[in-house]
C-alpha cells in the first residue's frame, strides 16, 4: 500500500493525516481584519437617505447601516465585533426581539430615543451607553421630534462562530412593566457620570498608551459591561502623542469629540468628531491629538473575551 492508498483508506474511516501534506501542523495566520476609518461626513448623508429604502416594522426589522470591514466582510467590523449605526425617525419604533448575541448601544445624536430592556425603559441621551445582554428582550423607539442615531455594538461574529446564533421576534405583545425587582446588572450608563469619571481620572493618572482612560464597569461586581466586550471612554489631551503598543484584542472606536490621528501598523488615520475606526488584533497603534479641544473617544473592545480564554497579550 502506498501513501496515497493509505490516505484514501484513512478517509474511508473519517480520518485525516495532516503530516501527509507539507507545512507545519499548526500554521501562523495573520489577521484579515483591516485597519479602517469610517467618516461621519460620508455616513450621515447616506443615513439620512435610508428611510426611503427601509422602514422598521414594515418589512424590515431595523434601519441600520453596518460598519463593514473590507478584510472580513462576513464578520462585520472586526472578526469579533459588529458595529452598526441605527437611525429612527420621530414616532418610529423597532420591534421587540431577543437574541443570543450580547449587544450595546452608544447614543450618538438626537433626543427622545429609548430602548426597553426586559420591561425597563431607558431614555437615551447622547453619550449614554445601554446594554442588552444575551437573550434579554429589547425594543426601541423615537419619541422625540428629530431623527435619532446610535451605535449598535454586538458580539454576533463570535456567537455565529460558536454556531449558536439565535434570534427570536416577540410574537405576543407583553405589558411593559417596571420589574420593581433588583436589576441583575446595570444596563444604563449615563453620559454625565461617565464624563465626570473621565475628568476625575485626568486629575489622577494617565496611561502612556491611551492617555486618560476609564472602563465602564458594573458598579456591583466590577465586571466588564458584557462578558465578551469591554467599553471605554478616553481623552487624548492637547499636545499628547501616546506610545505605540499592540494587543491581541481588537477595538472599534467612535470619536465623540475633537480631532486626532491614530497610526495603525504604520498607516496614519486622521479622525474628526463622529468618525469610527477599527484597530485589528496585534496591530501596533498610537494616538495623537490634533486641534485645540481635548479629543474624546468611546470604544468597544473584545478584551474580556480574550482574558476569559487566557489569550490577552499586550506588548510595546
Ligand atoms: O437594534 O436590537 O445593529 O438586534 C443588529 C441586531 C441592532 C437591535 C443591530 C440587533 C439590533
Ligand atoms: Fe437586537
Using the atom order of ligand 1, give the atom closest to the CA of residue 64.
Answer: 3
- pLDDT tens series, the chain, 316 aa: 999 999 999 999 999 999 999 989 888 999 999 999 999 999 999 999 999 999 998 878 899 999 999 999 999 999 999 999 999 999 999 999 999 999 999 999 999 999 999 999 999 999 999 999 999 999 999 999 999 999 999 999 999 999 999 999 988 766 555 555 555 678 999 999 999 999 999 999 999 999 999 999 999 999 999 999 999 999 999 999 999 999 999 999 999 999 999 999 999 999 999 999 999 999 999 999 999 999 999 999 999 999 999 999 999 9
Residue nearest to atom 9 of ligand 1 (CA): 152
Q: pLDDT by residue (tens digit) across 259-286?
A: 999 999 999 999 999 999 999 999 999 9
Q: What is the DSSP string of 119-134?
A: TEEEEE-TT-EEEE-T
3-state secondary structure of 251: strand
Using the atom order of ligand 1, give the atom closest to the CA of residue 94.
Answer: 1
d(CA 265, CA 245): 10
Eight-state DSSP code of residue 210: T
Eight-state DSSP code of residue 190: -
Q: What pTM did the predictor assign?
A: 0.95
Q: Residue 143, Cβ neighbours under 10 Å: how many?
A: 15
Q: What are the chain's domains? A: 36-188 (2.60.120.10), 191-315 (2.60.120.10)
d(CA 77, CA 69): 5
- Provide the pairing of β-strand 59-60 with 55-56: parallel
How far does residue 145's CA lie from ligand 1's centre (Å)?
22
Amino acid at each position: 500500500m502506498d501513501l496515497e492508498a493509505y490516505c484514501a483508506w484513512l478517509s474511508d474511516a473519517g480520518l485525516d493525516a495532516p503530516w501527509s501534506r507539507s507545512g507545519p501542523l499548526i500554521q501562523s495566520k495573520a489577521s484579515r481584519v483591516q485597519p479602517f476609518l469610517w467618516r461621519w461626513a460620508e455616513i450621515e448623508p447616506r443615513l439620512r437617505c435610508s428611510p426611503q429604502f427601509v422602514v422598521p416594522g414594515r418589512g424590515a426589522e431595523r434601519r441600520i447601516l453596518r460598519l463593514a470591514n473590507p478584510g472580513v466582510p462576513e464578520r462585520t467590523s472586526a472578526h469579533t465585533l459588529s458595529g452598526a449605526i441605527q437611525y429612527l425617525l420621530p414616532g418610529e419604533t423597532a420591534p421587540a426581539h431577543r437574541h443570543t448575541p450580547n449587544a450595546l448601544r452608544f447614543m450618538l445624536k438626537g433626543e427622545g430615543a429609548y430602548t426597553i430592556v426586559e420591561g425597563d425603559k431607558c431614555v437615551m441621551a447622547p453619550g449614554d451607553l445601554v446594554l442588552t445582554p444575551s437573550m434579554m428582550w429589547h425594543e426601541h423607539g423615537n419619541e422625540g421630534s428629530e431623527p435619532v442615531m446610535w451605535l449598535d455594538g454586538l458580539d454576533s461574529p463570535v456567537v455565529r462562530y460558536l454556531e449558536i446564533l439565535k434570534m427570536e421576534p416577540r410574537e405576543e405583545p407583553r405589558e411593559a412593566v417596571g420589574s420593581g425587582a433588583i436589576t441583575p446588572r446595570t444596563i444604563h450608563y449615563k453620559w454625565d457620570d461617565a464624563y465626570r469619571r473621565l475628568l476625575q481620572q485626568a486629575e489622577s493618572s494617565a496611561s502612556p498608551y491611551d492617555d486618560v482612560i476609564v472602563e465602564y464597569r458594573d458598579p456591583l461586581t466590577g465586571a466588564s459591561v458584557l462578558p465578551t466586550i469591554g467599553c471605554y471612554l478616553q481623552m487624548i489631551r492637547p499636545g499628547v502623542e501616546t506610545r505605540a503598543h499592540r494587543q491581541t484584542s481588537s477595538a472599534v472606536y467612535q470619536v465623540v469629540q475633537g480631532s486626532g490621528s491614530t497610526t495603525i501598523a504604520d498607516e496614519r488615520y486622521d479622525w474628526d468628531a463622529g468618525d469610527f475606526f477599527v484597530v485589528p488584533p496585534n496591530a501596533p497603534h498610537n494616538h495623537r491629538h490634533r486641534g485645540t479641544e481635548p479629543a474624546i473617544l468611546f470604544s468597544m473592545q473584545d478584551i474580556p473575551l480574550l482574558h476569559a480564554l487566557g489569550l490577552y497579550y499586550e506588548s510595546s
